[in-house]
Amino acid sequence: MHKHTKKELLILTYLRQNSRLKLTKLSKLTGIPISTIFDRIKTGSRLIQKHTTLINFQELGYTTRATITIKTKKEQRQDLQKHLINHSQINSTYRINNGYDFLIEGIFRHIKELEDFLETLEEKFVIKAKQVYYIIEDLKREAFMSRPENVQMIMEED
């Protein structure tokens, strides 16, 4: 594990709040020169995996979001994993433990579309167990490390 500087973590906390911040504004907020910020972001800080956009799926007509846990036969895990990763309506796929193999987040236009997805899944694979949790409302999302005042606490934990 690489030891990260306070400057690096401070830049990240502001970018977690708003990844579209202009470098000049970020420089004013952090007291770090623009050139240093640019170098940290562009030269590929190992901390940043991907720059992305959070979407309001309901505005696009996708009113049903669900988190689903799935347990399958050991022999089918690889194939199921490949299927889930490549499925267009699966937003996130995780390998997990404690009795299940995968945790997925799916985005669907309506509940019937989700039910059809699950039915197809059970036709293609042996699903030993599954739990479906409908996401009613995002209360907190992508907020870890988004508060600059917590940088010192994060550094002390290292």
| CATH number, position 121 | 3.30.70.920
Domain that holds residue 93: 57-134
Same-domain status, 92 and 121? yes
pTM over cut 0.75: yes
Residues 70 and 25 reside in one and the same domain:
no
Note the pLDDT tens digit of each residue in 21-72. 999 999 999 999 999 888 888 775 677 788 788 899 999 999 999 999 999 9
- The answer to whether position 158 is within a domain reads no
Query: Percent of the chain at pLDDT above 90?
Result: 63
Q: Span 89-105, mean pLDDT?
A: 98
Helices (H), 55-128: 77-86, 111-124
Residues 64 and 117 in one domain: yes
Task: Tell me, rounded to whole angstroms, the distance of Cα 38 from its chain centroid.
Answer: 24
Q: Dump strand ranges (E) for 10-150.
A: 64-72, 90-95, 102-108, 127-134
Is 82 in the same domain as 98?
yes
Residues comprising the chain, all counted: 158
- pLDDT band, very low/low/confident/very high, at 19 (cuts 50, 70, 90): confident
The DSSP symbol for 76 reads G
